[in-house]
Amino acid sequence: MNTPLIAINLKTYAEATGEKAVALAKLCESIDKEHIALACQATDINRVSSVGIDVMAEHVDSAKQGQGTGLVTPEAVKEAGAVGTLLNHSEHRLEREEMEKCIERAKENNLSIILCAEDDKEAEEFANLNVDFIAVEPPDLIGGDVSVTTRPELVSDSVKKVKAKNPDMKVLVGAGVKTKDDIVKALELGAEGVLLASGVVKAADQEEVLNDLVDGL
């Protein structure tokens, strides 16, 4: 996945499930397939990946293939067409031991990982883990209208702390991101992209919002 990156988490929104997820993927592919990636439900990975845009799972479990009813293995999402996965999103938090197992299993299958952190302190704690991106998302701003970029010190401190421990680690920021200005500000503060969801998925005009966001790159 290329940077600067716009990673869009489709969650379980009705507006981005099934064929609606495919429609959104086609729209993203037509606007900027090089810098947009989608995280979708496991049941939609196959159909969305066929569009020709980078697709991630919203989560993978640490279970190995075999007896694991109801769990999502890294092998399964890769076979379906995923190139990566989110882990530890605020809506699917993991205990540290389980997180490290999930990371190990994902990497065994060459999946890129976006690991979510709640603040700059947690981002720093995660900086030495074997992941590709750390996405800093304050939980209280997720799904709201106030952008994480209204807390510039959080963004810049997250970048500074992560880079001090791991200069090669890429940092994304998210929560409340909706506009070109949000992306411009995030990049100015040192982030290498954004992770967002409702700002695109639930927009009245998804195309207009996507074009605006891409302009921010």
Domain ranges of the chain: 5-215
Residue 197 pLDDT:
95
| CATH code for residues 5-215 | 3.20.20.70
Residue 146 pLDDT:
86
Annotated catalytic residues are 89, 137
Residue 140 pLDDT:
86
Q: Walk along the chain (217 residues) and give the pLDDT tens digit of each residue.
A: 999 999 999 999 999 999 999 999 999 999 999 999 999 999 999 999 999 999 999 999 999 999 999 999 999 999 999 999 999 999 999 999 999 999 999 999 999 999 999 999 999 999 999 999 999 999 888 878 888 999 999 999 999 999 999 999 999 999 988 899 999 999 999 999 999 999 999 999 999 999 999 999 9
Residue 142 pLDDT:
81
3-state secondary structure the chain: CCCCEEEEECCCCHHHCCHHHHHHHHHHHHHHCCCEEEEECHHHHHHHHCCCCEEEECCCCCCCCCCCCCCCCHHHHHHHCCCEEEECCCCCCCCHHHHHHHHHHHHHCCCEEEEEECCHHHHHHHCCCCCCEEEECCHHHCCCCCCHHHCHHHHHHHHHHHHHHCCCCEEEEECCCCCHHHHHHHHHCCCCEEEECHHHHCCCCHHHHHHHHHHCC
